[in-house]
Structure 1
Amino acid sequence: MSLTTVSDIAAQLELSGAQAAEPLGLRVGPVSVCILCEGPLRDVLADYFKEATDVVADPDITVHVVEGQALDPAPAWQDWAREPGKTGRKDAIHDLTDGRLIHKRRTGVTFLQSTDLLVAFGPVTENANQVVNFVNTQVLNNRQRAGWEICHAAAVSKGGRTLAIAGLSGGGKSTSILRMMDIPGMSFMTNDRLLVQADGLGAQGLGIPKHPRINPGTILGNDRLHDMLSAQRKAELRAMPADDLWQLEEKYDLFISDIYGAGRIEYAAPLTDFWVLNWQRDEEQVTMIEEVDLAARPDLLAAIMKSAGPFYQFPDGSFLRDTAAPDPEGYLAALRNVRVQEVTGRLDFDAIAYLGRELFDA
């Protein structure tokens, strides 16, 4: 049997169990999502997305999630080229006449992306984080088709002011944004993906329901987070050289409501300020912030822009290619009414927290 159309794939997948399960409804700003999933994974997803859960009568997006199942014959996978500076095989694709299959090389989870049917299948229960990412990708796709730009940034909001933070590789945006959450009345918007669209004299920002995944260094540097690690692990990490701790890739999910309390998430808000972290750990100069013209700083713009990746399907049904690059002009237009500032000097999270308090107290 050939694997040429979405119908070919649907004919091999058993979706009735998911379709009979109690729907899990989400609302993220103007976007509504229905997740159809049975078994223990549904409970995991319900807990993960609890801050976005809502009753959805006529969803914009419906995602099917089914455990196991495989395609026969196996698709002729083609590796998706990774972004500069990243190595290893991660995603592979198989294009259909009216859709695309995306396969995670490391886990074996496969996704069907199309305008008519969205399915996650394979070992999904043991890889719930990839299902979470697939759901959030659909929110991103929905807004990008409506003209929004996707930024590689975290964001918080308070009192009509929203601050987004991007950074050059390893810049510490997650740690910085969590320090902002110590400000009374602050709401968390997003940790790694921010959608932006110009709106009259301002701009709108939209986050996605994905909790921060943070490194041990972030946990050790914030008293609020210490209980996320065992006493033994904290002792082991504190004994490590500073450079080794900074480079350590050991991710932990931080649930905002568990640490900061209920009602501290706001996915949609006007975007007013954007900081780009261009500081250095070994810099002697004190931390400084200065307004910049983003059109004259392609290096900073590059830190903000983010490829939509293999899941993005254009409004006409065609798919993004791995040779495509984000359009700088689209970002400049989206951010034209946002104050953009560059943070330079020494990497100092106490300093960034002070600057944040000044901004939101102004």
Structure 2
Amino acid sequence: MNRVADVLDGLDRSGVPETLFLETGPVRIAVRCDTSMANVLKRHLADALAAEGPVSAVVDVLNGQKLKSEPAWTDWAREPGKTGRKDAYHDLEDGRLVRKVRTGMTFLQSSQALLAFGPCLNCPNQVINFINTQILNICKRDGWEICHAAAVTDGVNGLAIAGLSGGGKSTTILRLMDLETSRFVTNDRLMVRATADGVTGLGIPKNPRINPGTIVGNPRLAPLLTDARRLELARMSTEDLWQHEEKHDLFISDVYGTGRVQFTMPLTEFWVLNWSRQSSSPTRVQDANLADRPDLLRAIMKSAGPFYQDTRGRFLRDDDPLCPDAYLAQLNSVRLREVTGTIDFDALALAGRELFS
């Protein structure tokens, strides 16, 4: 298996009668799939659904199909601090196959075809991630940079929040969504680009997947759990609850109402969570200079990952370094603030309300 044609030869792309059109900022994508998959994607991607029209990419979702033969897979190295196998890849002469090790989902990334296949109906979030990867790829090739951040806006100011995984990005953003003027932009990936009018932030169409710790601390989110499950979680220690992984889909429109999602925003502030549960100091939100703080910049930068293919057709390797100067150039006019001290979401929500007042 050396070429994209070899992969396509073993797959049937005729059974995709539905076409969904998605729009986020300057990017429009078509997704072709069967009716069952379309119904799932319409639910998850409702805020990005658009009318038929010209697109920058077409993604085919082939539920239940698989490769005729297995290639030699190479593990994609995970980020520092992460363990276990997650992604593997196989490079073709004119494309790349990516395998999700835990689920068996497989993806073809190439200039000829973009395919998601395998147990797609059982793995809708991996299908959605692949679709969103195409948005990130298109923007990255057009000069945007990818940030590991959540974001919210009131239309005038835009706030991005970065930090280590599990540091409280989602919890903070959802607390700020309690403000009636705020709009959800993104939960985990934010594209940024400097323009003559300031810095623009662009989110991706994916609802947050949140842990119980985020839910139990926010009464508005309580209906996401059963009464019995809430009681079980209430008996857990604070530390155990913080570490507990149990993902729940949060549909923004269901909880906060329609019209509360806005994928593009003026990016005016970037907060980096550098707080700690072990700290006895009060929570502080203080100005910092990104050029002088490579540790904070590392929390913001995010690799485009195994799916990214640049304008020359070259795919990323897992040891390709990120370019700090590219991020500094895009974020030069954005106010950077570091959040230190103990983890206090009430204090951070108050600081956010002051920004959006």
CA apart distance, 1:40: 1.1
Q: Aligned to 2:356, what secondary structure does the other structure show? A: helix
Contact 1:198/1:334 (<8 A) preserved: yes
Counterpart in the other structure of 1:172 = 168
Query: Partner amino acid for 2:12?
Result: E
Q: Which residue of 2 aligns with 1:291?
A: 287
Equivalent pair of 2:155/2:266 in contact (CA under 8 Å): no
Residue in structure 1 matching 2:14, options 16, 23, 27: 16
Following superposition, the deviation at residue 283 of structure 1 comes to: 1.5
Structure 1 residue 72: Cα displacement: 2.4
Q: Equivalent residue for 1:156?
A: 152
Q: 1:4 pairs with 2, 5, 12, which one? A: 2
Which amino acid is 1:256 matched to?
I
Among 341, 344, 347, the residue aligned to 2:343: 347
Q: Are 1:276 and 1:343, in contact at CA under 8 Å, matched by a contact in 2? A: yes
Which amino acid in the other structure matches residue 135 of structure 1? I
Q: Is the 8 A contact 1:284 1:346 kept in 2?
A: yes
The aligned residue for residue 215 of structure 2 is 219
- The answer to whether 1:207 aligns with 2:229 is no
How far residue 169 of structure 1 moved from its aligned partner, in angstroms, is 3.6
Shift of the alpha carbon at 1:202? Answer: 1.4
Tell me whether 1:29 sits opposite 2:25 in the alignment.
Answer: yes
Q: Is the 8 A contact 1:273 1:340 kept in 2?
A: yes
1:110 and 1:348, CA in 2 relative to 1: closer, same or farther beyond 3 A?
same
Deviation string for 1:128-187 (max 9, x for gaps)? Answer: 111010000100011000010000000001031100000134210110010110112100
Q: TM-score, normalised by structure 2?
A: 0.98
Structure 1 CA distance for aligned equivalents of residues 52 and 150 of structure 2? 27
Contact persistence 1:80–1:322 (CA under 8 A):
yes
Contact 1:203–1:334 under 8 Å retained in 2: yes
Report percent identity of matched pairs.
57
1:201 positional shift: 5.0
* Aligned match of 1:79: 75
Please point out which of 33, 51, 57 is paired with 1:55: 51
**8 Å Cα contact 1:32-1:56 kept in structure 2:** no
Measured after TM superposition, the shift of residue 39 of structure 1 is 3.1
Q: Between Structure 1 and Structure 2, how many residues are aligned?
A: 357
Kindly provide the CA deviation profile for residues 97-129 of structure 1, in whole angstroms up to 9, marking residues without a partner as x: 110000111111100001121000111111111
CA contact (8 A) 2:152 2:185 kept: yes
Matches within 5 A, 1:116-195: 116-195=112-191
Deviations along 1:78-104, whole A, 9 cap, x unmatched? 111111111111111010111000011
* Residues 155 and 265 in structure 2, CA contact (< 8 A), matched pair in contact too: no
Contact 2:18 2:35 in 1 (8 A): no
Q: Which runs of 5+ in 2 are unaligned?
A: none
Matched residue SS, 2:178: coil
Deviation at 1:47, TM superposition (A): 1.1
Gap regions ≥5 residues in structure 1: none
Counterpart-to-counterpart distance in 2, 1:39 and 1:197:
36
For 2:180 and 2:226, the matched residues in 1 are separated by: 28
- The offset of 1:345, in angstroms, is 1.1
Alpha-carbon separation, structure 1, partners of 2:37 and 2:57: 19
User: How many Å separate the matches in 1 of 2:307 and 2:331?
Assistant: 24
Shift of 1:5: 1.1
Runs of 4+ in 1 over 2 A off after TM superposition: none
Query: Aligned partners of 2:68, 2:278: CA distance in 1, in Å?
Result: 54
Q: Deviations over 1:292-336 (max 9, x none)?
A: 110100110010011111000111111000111211111101101
CA distance in structure 1 between the partners assigned to 2:57 and 2:155 by the alignment: 31
Q: Are 2:356 and 1:338 equivalent residues in the alignment?
A: no
| Offset, 1:73 | 2.3
1:95 pairs with 2:91: yes
**AA of the residue aligned to 1:333:** A
Q: Match for 2:315 among 298, 302, 319?
A: 319
Which residue in the other structure is 1:310 paired with? 306
- Matched residue SS, 1:17: coil
Q: C-alpha distance in 1, partners of 2:224/2:171? A: 15
Do the aligned residues in 2 keep the contact of 1:33 with 1:56 (CA within 8 Å)? no
Q: Matched residue of 1:141: which SS?
A: helix
Code of the residue aligned with 2:32 in structure 1: it is L
Cα distance in 1, alignment partners of residues 46 and 214 from structure 2: 24
Deviation at 1:270, TM superposition (A): 1.3
